[in-house]
Amino acid sequence: MGSRMAQRLLAAGHSVIGYNRTRAKAQALLAAGMEWGDSPRAVAAASEVIFSMVTNTAALEAITGGADGILAGLGAGKIYIDMSTVSPAASRAIARAVEAKGARMLDAPVSGSVITLEEGKLSIMAGGDRPAFEKVLPILQAIGPKVTHVGANGLAVSMKIATNLSLAVQMLAFSEGVLLAEKSGIARETAVEVLLNSVIASPMVKYRGPFVLHMPEDAWFDVNMMQKDLLLALELGRQLDVPLPTTAIANEMLTTARGMGLAEKDFAILFEALARMAGMKHE
């Protein structure tokens, strides 16, 4: 996802300097005109607007802290935008450290898939200083056309968590429907076609629902990543006294998938886990 965002920024005419732990994975971007930074600090020092997108809270803390971290390269007037889905509390703590450097931070996670991004339909939510948001809005719109300021630091991450919990819940419900129809005697392909043209076909279900027929070799968003987001949701729910019963059930089904050795598969593999429990084989 991050590499494709960089591609869109380059295509929009922005000068981009980037860093990745594995330089070989950035070769296509370097060939497209991106400059290379030797560390997160180097990228931050050379840039007016700094983006990051990493796997989890620990990874974010790793790239922001330390002698070679983003914080070390920040200065007055710079704007740091983190697009990761992480703990809201951790995001707010980093925002305070950014402000101590005279810079400003936005948490700006996205809603959508690789396909959504490539089609130019990605949705971005942003939390943090409003003037900073207004300043970088044209840059964010080069990544995705729908950009919404949702409030203070950490609230965009909270909004992303509130959004992402529905991905697994919807996928699980869709899988239940397909399996119930199939065990009733309806061909799986027919059940999928009917459901994808029914009122339950959300954008996510439309592009991920077909995975119950043919799983992609490379996961778009694997079981571990999805479960990370559900655990963030459950923790936030516990803190705010918000019951999340369907999220809890979807989380347990992801644990089931992990126990079946399916952790590296796209989280649509929930269908396979459920099918095995129903005594059926996902072909």
Task: State yes or no: pLDDT of 45 exceeds 80.
Answer: yes
Domain boundary assignment for the chain:
2-153, 159-277
- Residue 19: what residue type? Y
Percentage of the chain modeled with pLDDT above 90: 80
**Tokens 């044209």 sit on residue:** 138
pLDDT for the residue numbered 66? 94
The number of beta carbons lying within 10 Å of the beta carbon of residue 64 is 25
Long-range contacts of 15-20 (CB under 8 A, 24+ apart): 17/42, 17/43, 17/46, 17/47, 18/43, 19/43
Distance of CA 55 to the CA centre of its chain: 8
Across residues 120-127, what is the average pLDDT?
Answer: 86
Residue 283 has pLDDT above 60, yes or no: no
Active-site residue set: 160
pLDDT of residue 116: 63
Any idea which residue has 């594995």 for tokens?
Answer: 22
Q: What share of the chain is helix, strand, coil (3-state, %, to 5)?
A: 55, 10, 30
Report the predicted TM-score, pTM, of the whole model to 2 decimal places. 0.87
Residue 48 — very low, low, confident or very high, per pLDDT cuts 50/70/90?
Answer: very high
Our measurement of the distance from residue 86's CA atom to the centroid of its chain's CA atoms, rounded to an integer in Å, reads 10
pLDDT value of position 23: 85
Q: Which CATH number fits domain 159-277: 1.10.3720.10, 1.10.15.40, 1.10.1040.10, 1.10.10.10?
A: 1.10.1040.10
Q: Are the folds of 2-153 and 159-277 the same?
A: no
**pLDDT class for 111, splitting at 50, 70, 90?**
confident
pLDDT digits 0-9 by tens, 89-99? 999 999 999 99
**What pLDDT is stored for residue 120 in this prediction?**
65
* 2 compared with 158, residue with greater pLDDT: 158
Q: How does pLDDT run across 1-42, given as a tens digit for each residue?
A: 778 888 889 889 999 999 988 888 888 998 999 999 999 999
Would you tell me which CATH number, out of the four given (1.10.10.60, 1.20.1560.10, 3.30.230.10, 3.40.50.720), belongs to the domain 2-153? 3.40.50.720
Beta bridge partners of 126: 149
Residues 80, 106 contacting (CB under 8 angstroms): yes
pLDDT tens readout for residues 139-151: 999 998 889 999 9
User: Smallest Cα–Cα separation from 121: which of 64, 206, 50, 46?
Assistant: 206
Average pLDDT, the chain: 93
Distance CA(55)–CA(224), nearest Å, equals 10
**pLDDT score at 3:** 82
Task: Report which residue type is found at 157.
Answer: V
Determine the angle formed by the axes of helices 88-100 and 57-64, rounding to 10 degrees: 10
Rounded CA Rg of the chain: 20
Partners of 49 in beta bridges: 79
